[in-house]
């Protein structure tokens, strides 16, 4: 556990608002090695691209065993901190989720508030915060300061009143911060004004999603983001250019 603790501390320290850590979103050992060879200091494993890579739908179409099998291959191939998108937790109790991830060498996780296994319902703010608190308690019990990236789909699902959507999302994320989150992920492709406000008003480093082929790192720095990940967009960009290459050979 001492090695995992060092990796978790390294990952947490890399979250610097205004100088964000970029964690390429990978899906297998090959993509992980490509990212590390390009010089990145940590990785996140995305549920969407990972599900696509094994022929499963996103939205908890994978089993947790399938997730940990792939994560073990990734952590076995690279020696950098690895965080894992575990969607809404695959119906597991927080302790089982944390124990399963630590067993395969992951030291961070994304946890979202859309419960796909229950018809895609959105957890209440209090329920989501309670799950985050359970994850923090389990990590503390294991002796590893797991980096918990608490995600809300409030923007993605266009929940609530548009006029108060930012305020409502901030309130949800505040509860997660108080519950023991390490970073906050109000997922959406925000404009700079909105992202700046989120970064200014939230008490923890903010994770922003970006498209590696078209977006501008400087905008995320100006806005104050503390972490950047790609969701499925790196894999999608590779698929597009691969399709163009392969079309020449039909």
**Is a pLDDT exceeding 80 seen at residue 120?**
yes
High-pLDDT (> 70) share of the chain, %: 100
**In whole angstroms, what is the distance from residue 106 CA to residue 110 CA?**
11
Domain boundaries, the chain: 2-239
pLDDT of residue 149: 98
Q: Is the pLDDT of residue 78 over 90?
A: yes
Q: How confident is the model at residue 133 (pLDDT cuts 50, 70, 90)?
A: very high
pLDDT of residue 71: 98
Report, at the CATH architecture level, how domain 2-239 is classified: Alpha-Beta Barrel (3.20)
Q: pLDDT tens across 158-212, in order?
A: 999 999 999 999 999 999 999 999 999 999 999 999 999 999 999 999 999 999 9
Q: What is the pLDDT confidence band of residue 75, given thresholds at 50, 70 and 90?
A: very high
Which pTM was predicted?
0.96
CA 218 to chain centre: 21
pLDDT tens per residue across span 152-165:
999 999 999 999 99
Q: Confidence band (pLDDT; 50, 70, 90) for 1? A: confident
- From the centroid of its chain, how far is CA 52? 17
12-32: average pLDDT = 98
Using an 8 Å Cβ cutoff, are 187 and 151 in contact?
yes
**Cβ neighbours of residue 67 under 8 Å, at least 6 residues apart?**
47, 50, 84, 86, 90
Long-range contacts of 64-70 (CB under 8 A, 24+ apart): 64/90, 64/92, 64/97, 64/100, 68/100, 68/101, 68/103, 68/104, 70/27, 70/28, 70/45
């Amino acid at each position: 556990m001492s090695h995992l603790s060092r990796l978790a501390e390294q990952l947490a320290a890399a979250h610097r608002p205004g100088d964000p850590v970029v964690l390429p979103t990978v899906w297998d050992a090959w993509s992980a090695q490509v990212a590390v060879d390009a010089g990145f200091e940590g990785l996140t494993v995305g549920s969407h691209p990972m599900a696509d890579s094994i022929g499963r739908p996103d939205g908890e179409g994978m089993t947790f065993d399938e997730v940990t099998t792939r994560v073990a291959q990734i952590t076995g191939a690279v020696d950098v901190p690895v965080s894992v998108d575990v969607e809404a937790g695959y119906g597991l109790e927080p302790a089982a989720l944390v124990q399963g991830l630590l067993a395969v060498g992951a030291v961070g996780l994304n946890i979202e508030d859309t419960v796909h296994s229950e018809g895609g319902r959105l957890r209440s703010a209090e329920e989501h915060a309670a799950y985050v608190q359970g994850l923090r308690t389990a990590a503390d019990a294991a002796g590893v300061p797991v980096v918990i990236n608490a995600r809300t789909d409030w923007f993605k699902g266009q929940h609530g009143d548009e006029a108060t959507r930012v305020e409502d999302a901030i309130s949800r994320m505040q509860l997660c911060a108080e519950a023991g989150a390490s970073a906050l992920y109000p997922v959406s492709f925000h404009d700079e004004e909105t992202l700046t406000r989120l970064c200014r008003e939230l008490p923890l480093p903010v994770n922003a999603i970006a498209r590696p082929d078209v977006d501008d790192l400087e905008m995320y720095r100006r806005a104050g983001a503390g972490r950047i990940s790609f969701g499925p967009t790196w894999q999608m960009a590779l698929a597009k250019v691969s399709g163009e290459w392969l079309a020449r050979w039909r």
